[in-house]
Amino acid sequence: MDWIYGIHAVQTMLKSAPQRVTELHVQQGRKDDRLQKIHNLAEQHGIALQLTSVKRLDAKTEGRHQGVMALCQPGETYDETFLMQLAGKHGASSFFLMLDGVTDPHNLGACLRSADGAGVQAVIVPKDNSVGLTPIVQKVACGAAESIPLVTVTNLTRTLDKLQQQGCWVVGTDGEADQTIYDLDLTGPTVIVMGAEGDGMRQLTRKQCDFLAKLPMSGSVESLNVSVATGVCLFEAVRQRAVKSSQ
């Protein structure tokens, strides 16, 4: 089991999966409206709330706990079978994000948050060489880790092939690509593939893509942080889809 912490992360857990919460600790002597919502949710779901010293909260967490932490059973992850069912269900509106080897929990958490905001139906990661749903990921995701399916697969290339057979177009991001993300049509069933921090996509993943695209960079830096780049790419797809639906 993992400790999750932070008002938003704990509040979302209490709303979406209260059955996973086995212990709930709130800072002793602290009273404000945001923590009162935690109190109310705990009472609503019959979860005992323990008043805890700041010293103990600090010892159990790795970042800003904001006066609350919860011990939770592991979050659910999904497999390739579930992903294919999603693709079949959503059809022409399928919209997936694949992360090829993102190992920084802050980056994964931020990517989950952007994916949830953009309406992505699932985030796909490899079982190996990728960070899982750690407490830091859940804190940074601000509740998105509980609301968007995280699909772990053994072989990214094989999974992309199966999604292509379901009608999805695969768009990989590569700084050396000839076209930008703004040049592509992202309104159909789409998988956007982002590479790992520093190294980018692996060669086999790159070869499986239908299109490669880059973000236009005008300054002195060569690339953006993967979580920032993910947000840019996902919301370009959101923009295009909104325009198409309004026509």
Could you give all domains of the chain from N- to C-terminal order, each with its CATH number? 2-72 (3.30.1330.30), 80-246 (3.40.1280.10)
Radius of gyration (C-alpha) of the chain in whole angstroms: 20
Query: What predicted TM-score, i.e. pTM, was given to this entire model?
Result: 0.79
pLDDT given for residue 33 in this prediction: 85
pLDDT tens across 193-228, in order? Answer: 999 877 889 999 999 999 999 999 888 777 789 999
The pLDDT of 50-67, averaged and rounded, is: 86
pLDDT given for residue 97 in this prediction: 98
Mean pLDDT, the chain, whole residue set: 90
The pLDDT of 59-83, averaged and rounded, is: 85
The pLDDT of 112-121, averaged and rounded, is: 96
What is the share, in percent, of the chain residues with pLDDT greater than 70? Answer: 99
pLDDT of 113 higher than 90: yes
Q: Which residue has the higher pLDDT, 129 or 193?
A: 193
pLDDT tens across 41-52, in order? Answer: 999 999 998 999
